[in-house]
Structure 1
Amino acid sequence: MEDLLKVGVITTTHGVRGEVKVYPTTDDAERFLDLDYVMLDTGKEYRRLDIKNVRFFKNLAILKFDGIDNINDIEKYKGCSLWIPREEGQELGEDEYYIADLLGMNVVLEDGTEFGTLKDVMETGANDVYIINSKEHGEVLLPAIKECILNVDLESNTMTIHLMKGLI
């Protein structure tokens, strides 16, 4: 399991006083209102940034950080990810998982046959779609619905699936 959870990506600067526009990678963008800080992945290290102010514009969060008061101090971090420690993550409901915990999971069919590896999760309006690399079938897109996802076992890193007709 990951120690850090990704909550957003800096898309661009906002104004000249060091604010940034952040594309949220969390289900609830208003989550930023509850955070005191984020960890900026600079590519070399993680840098703690204390959040001074949060507001929203369309589908983006606009963040202001303590000690960053100039566009030049933050502009170089465009495209960088923002993370929080796992213990700061939101409580999950039944059958809810952090995407970071699902990636790389072994995927097996309901009869126990090895099917592939979970490569990515595509977030759509209706339901998530799991992208599975299968040696036999190549890339398979599987809707994350109860009819297809029979079991997720984080301890054994295994997902059991049912393939509906027409998926492969």
Structure 2
Amino acid sequence: MKDKIRVGQIVNTQGLRGEVRIYPLTDRKERFEELDCLYLEDETNMELEIEKVRYKNQLVILKFKDLDSINDVEKLKNKYIAIDKEKIKELPEDTYYIFDLVGLEVIEEDNTYIGKLIDVIQNPTQDLYVVQHEDSKKKIFIPAVKEFIKEIDIDKNIIKVKLIEGMME
């Protein structure tokens, strides 16, 4: 699935007519309206053609073509769904997809190696970069703001940061 990007998780069924509830893993859930199909992230990599999209609170409700009953979609619960990588949107400058950031080496401004970025926690106020420290099993949480994130260079595989006292304790 290296050529696919995860965009959501099927968290439950919706009604009896084959609809599913999707927890979107994208900051713009309306994006689902622009898609024709999705792929299951499992051993089948099954292509699911989208028939209908609607919304309920923070969830996306999808109806897939040829899956017309609760029995057809029950087996999809808790599975992740993905799109072709080529269908991702171009981002504005200084904006990155999480999959581009995870795995980057994190260094301080003086080039001291800190560790690897292992996750990004998305919060309403700002994202938090989770860095696995190289010398310990400790995780460092760095707010994704200009005060702390000084440079991101995807080509060089680095994120330069400025840490303040207490961040690495």
TM bucket normalised to smaller = over 0.9
Partners in 2 of 1:108 and 1:45 — Cα distance? 39
The amino acid across from 2:70 in the alignment is I
Distance 1:45 1:119 in 2: 27
Report matched runs for 1:131-150 at 5 Å.
131-136=130-135, 138-150=138-150
Partner of 1:67: 66
How many residue pairs match? The answer is: 166
Structure-to-structure mapping, 1:62-141, within 5 angstroms: 62-136=61-135, 138-141=138-141
Task: After TM superposition, give the deviation of residue 153 of structure 1 in Å.
Answer: 1.4
Flag as ranges the 4+ runs of structure 1 deviating above 6 A: none
What are structure 2's unaligned runs of at least 5 residues? Answer: none
- 1:146-161 to structure 2, matched below 5 A, reads 146-161=146-161
8 A contact 2:116–2:134 mirrored in 1: no
1:84-103 deviations in whole A, cap 9, x for unaligned? 11221122011111111111
Q: Distance in 1 between matches of 2:150 and 2:46?
A: 39
CA deviation map 1:135-160 (0-9, x unaligned): 33611100000111111111222111
1:68 to partner: Cα distance:
0.6
Deviations 1:90-117 (A, max 9, x none): 2201111111111111111111111001
| TM-score (structure 2 length as normaliser) | 0.93
Q: Distance in 1 between matches of 2:44 and 2:114?
A: 36
Q: Sequence identity of aligned pairs in percent?
A: 40
Determine helix, strand or coil for the equivalent of 1:46: coil
Letter in 2 for 1:120: D
* 1:45 CA drift (Å): 2.9
Matched, 1:46 2:49: no
* TM-score, normalisation: structure 1: 0.94
**Whole-Å Cα distance in 2 between the matches of residues 100 and 71 of structure 1?**
33
Q: What do residues 5-59 of structure 1 show as CA deviations (whole Å, max 9, x unaligned)?
A: 1111000000111100000000101111111111111x21311111100000000
SS in 2 for 1:69: coil
How far, CA to CA, are the matches of 2:45 and 2:150 in structure 1?
Answer: 37
Distance 1:84 1:117 in 2: 26
